[in-house]
Chain A
């Protein structure tokens, strides 16, 4: 009830000291005498006796003589005006927003958009190419863009086609042709372009009408920040994450709208909240998930339909960023308060199964995981598996080259030893090693000078890099960027104060 408080505001504090508003009157909202215009102190009757005069009483009590008061101007307390503080959630939204275009940047006239076969064309290596608008939307829907990437500097998103890109997309194409599963781990140095490699794989998949299921951050699944519930009748007990599943279905639906509307269900799904008969577009099936309660059954049905054998199905790309988070014991607990292994979470299990080779897709596809160097828990088994597979791949390549009869340099790699477990270390995880036993590893390394020149020419054409792009500047930035680490080159030339 604001009335008594507001009335009290009207009381002058200096006069209000000796005479206070009676509590009862104030609480009842009755205006006191002071409020009616008569000064409160006027209530005291005039008297000549010292005891009753106002000043005398004060002096006598305090034992000091009231001298002549000097007039001093008090400084007002400095109040810093901070303006309007942002609303709850606004800061985070600002931090997390993805900006994909910059109107102040120059449009690059020679920039061509990517077509379905461009990323796997060898002639496009060391060329910067634009991402078509519809693919931009699809990538945005599946959260492929990240805030740490420099999209906001340029007129439109464009990517550099690298040797690794062509290698990766060719492997994807080969897998789709043979109805096989490409199981690949993308690894590399810090800011070398691992997530960008994932984005390029997704772009290639979208352009070639694949279905893309992308998990932008594996940590969202395993750090116990989304709801989970046990799935009944599973052995060993698995857990679903309905809220995340709903989000994922919506992302899938938005990103793969075109493909899903052309793909039809094989079976009826009567147990879903909305009855889905056979021969319904998968888009309709995905649309059933409106609330998190129904999300997990819908996801299961969708996944069952996508992997149904014997009907026309598109290839599927499963991609996950931050692989190390998926390869550890999660922060979730069982009812007995034991920690749950990440691979017991149903969504993660799907990916783990795919990496392990237990997933057969009707039209083939790929599962690609990218490691992270900035936000990754230490995962010795992952590190070991990746290094082991890399060495094994080199040995295989050298034995192949030796078979075809080429030089002596291959013999050096053939003698290389496959890394083994440290016998005195306990932190290895058998389940992780079993999953990663036979994956392929793609190391995203440094770019060479041709690629550096291409990307710098694009920066210069966009007006973001303001010096002549010649051998000297290219080498300078290439060296400053740690012998061609693309992200470091970006830091050294675009993100420094000197423009």
Chain B
């Protein structure tokens, strides 16, 4: 029995799949027969032609298909016995590709579409294998060389080979939706700072600002806050070209003023996208991530300890 199965495996490995065991053939035959019998019982008519079984297979006769007397199974993947078979397979595939594609035309590195490759920890996690850093570095070098091949000349399999090395989320391909300008000519920008959030409708005008229905001076007592609220317009010298109607809530005066800076800047970019770099220099693009640190157990505030008392 064991020898028979080994024989079958070996022959399967060598492509002689025709050699099937006679026993299995018989059992199928029997099943078929039983089905026919059942059918016959249902119809009382006698069948015109009886099914005859095929002649029995002679196992010795199959010997002529055998190539070798003794054979051991060889794994399909050459990296079957390595610690990192999945990575190795892909590495080898990429090596093969880089060898075969070395003659293809390349484009300058600056023109290549930027792709985020998996970092080593991500790759290890994705393959579930302890990939070596040096191997990964070598592999990545090849990948980057393959990337330079002109897009029209790239073979199809190259894309598939590189797919598994790409990050799941391509941050650089993530483009923010442009803010639309509605039929009244307004662009709605949203900004946040600390726990304040602001929505500013920016539209072309003469420099009038209304915040929660009040003028800038009524809403912000401090001149500094007023200045920071309209800083985006001031820094780009557009204060006399736009009107702002804004809603702010949450937080204190400083937070609200600086939330407005961001909101107005975004609304302004919707009107004039080229101002983005100027606004970035003026500090109106980046959201300030700092917020109040959470309170910790055992402390009076985030870090303030209890007063030390002797006994």
Q: Is the CB of B240 within 8 A of A472?
A: yes
**Residues of chain A from 461 to 494 with CB closer than 8 A to chain B in the complex:** 471-472, 475-476, 478-483, 485, 488, 491-492
Chain B 215-243 residues near chain A, CB threshold 8 A: 215-218, 223, 226-227, 230, 234, 237, 239-240
Given the contacts A482-B217, A485-B215, A485-B217, A476 and B223 also touching, CB distance less than 8 Å? no
Give the CA-CA distance A471 to B227 in the complex, in Å. 17
Contact call A491/B223, Cβ cutoff below 8 A:
yes
Closest to A485 in B: B217
From A189, A472, A479, A485, give the contact of B209 (CB < 8 A). Answer: A479
Taking a contact as CB atoms under 8 Å apart, the answer to whether B209 and A483 are in contact is yes
Interchain CB contact under 8 A, B207 and A479: yes
Q: Is A496 an interface residue (CB 8 A)?
A: yes
Q: Which residues 169-205 in A have Cβ within 8 Å of B in the complex?
A: 189
Whether A476 pairs with B217 at a CB distance below 8 angstroms is no
Which one, B218, B230, B237, contacts A479 given CB within 8 A? B230
Chain A CB within 8 A of B170 CB: no
Task: Please determine whether A475 and B240 come into contact, CB atoms closer than 8 angstroms.
Answer: yes
Check B216–A483 contact: CB distance below 8 A: yes
Q: How many interface residues does chain A have, given as a range?
A: 10 to 19
Given contacts A482-B218, A488-B217, contact A475 B223 (CB under 8 A): no
In the complex, which residue of chain B has the Cβ closest to the Cβ of A478? B207
- Give A189 to B219 CA distance when docked, in angstroms: 13
Cβ A480 vs Cβ B216 within 8 A: yes
B216: chain A residues at CB < 8 Å are 479-480, 482-483
- Chain A nearest CB from B202 CB (Å) reads 13
Q: Which A residue sits closest to B210, measured CB to CB?
A: A483
Cα distance A488–B216 when bound, in Å? 10
Give B180 Cβ to nearest chain A Cβ, in Å. 26
What is the CA–CA distance of A472 and B217 in the complex, to the nearest angstrom? 18
Tell me the B234-279 residues at the A interface (CB within 8 Å).
Answer: 234, 237, 239-240
Q: Is the CB of A492 within 8 A of B208?
A: no
If A492-B226, A496-B223 touch, does A483 touch B240 (CB 8 Å cutoff)?
no
Report A-chain residues with C-beta under 8 Å of the C-beta of B209.
Answer: 479, 483
Complexed CA–CA distance, A449 and B223 (Å): 20
| Cα distance, A485 to B221, chains bound together (Å) | 13
Inter-chain CA distance A492–B215, complex, in Å, is 14
CA of A324 to CA of B183 in the docked complex: distance in angstroms?
47
Tell me which of A471, A475, A479, A483 has the highest count of chain B C-beta atoms within 10 A of its own C-beta: A479
- Report the separation of the CA atoms of residues A475 and B239 in the bound assembly, to the nearest whole angstrom: 7
List residues of chain B with CB within 8 A of the CB of A479: 207-209, 216, 230, 239
The chain A residue sitting closest to B241, CB to CB, is A475
Q: Considering residues B207, B234, B237, which has the most beta carbons from chain A within 10 angstroms of its beta carbon?
A: B207
- A156 to B226 Cα, complex, angstroms: 31
CA distance A488 to B208 in the complex (A): 15
B77 at the interface (CB under 8 A from A): no
A475 touches which of B207, B218, B226, B227 (Cβ 8 Å): B207
Contacts of A496 in B (CB 8 A): 223
B234 / chain A contacts, CB cutoff of 8 Å: 476
Q: In the complex the two chains form, is A481's CB within 8 Å of B217's CB? A: yes
* Contact yes or no, A480 B237, CB < 8 A: no
Partner of A480, one of B206, B218, B223, B240: B223
Contact residues in A for B207 (Cβ distance below 8 Å) = 475-476, 478-479
Q: Given the complex, which residues of B lie within 8 Å of A482, measured CB to CB?
A: 215-218
Question: By the criterion CB–CB under 8 Å, are B237 and A472 in contact?
Answer: yes
* A293→B208 CA distance, assembly (Å): 57
Shortest Cβ distance from residue A106 to the other chain B in the assembled complex, whole angstroms: 24
A475:B206 contact, CB within 8 angstroms:
yes
Residues of B within 8 A of A449 (CB): 206
Complex formed: what's the CA distance from A488 to B219 in Å? 12
B contact residues around A492 at 8 Å (CB)? 223, 226-227
Distance A39 CA – B270 CA, assembled complex (angstroms): 96
Task: List residues of chain A with CB within 8 A of the CB of B206.
Answer: 449, 475
Cβ contacts under 8 Å, B237 to chain A? 472
Query: Which B residues touch A475, using CB under 8 A?
Result: 206-207, 239-240
B191 to chain A, nearest CB (A): 18
Measured between C-beta atoms, what is the minimum distance from B8 to chain A in Å? 89
For A491, the chain B residues whose CB sits under 8 A away are 223
Quick one: closest B residue to A481, CB to CB? B217
Q: B186-220: which residues lie under 8 A (CB-CB) from chain A?
A: 206-209, 215-218
Residues of A that sit less than 8 Å from B by CB: 189, 449, 471-472, 475-476, 478-483, 485, 488, 491-492, 496
Q: A471-B240, A492-B223 are in contact. List 5 more A-B contacts (CB 8 A).
A: A475-B206, A476-B240, A482-B217, A482-B218, A483-B215
- 10 A-B contacts (beta carbon < 8 Å): A475-B240, A476-B234, A478-B207, A479-B216, A479-B230, A480-B227, A480-B230, A481-B217, A482-B218, A492-B223
Closest 4 CB pairs of A and B: A482-B217, A475-B240, A482-B215, A488-B217
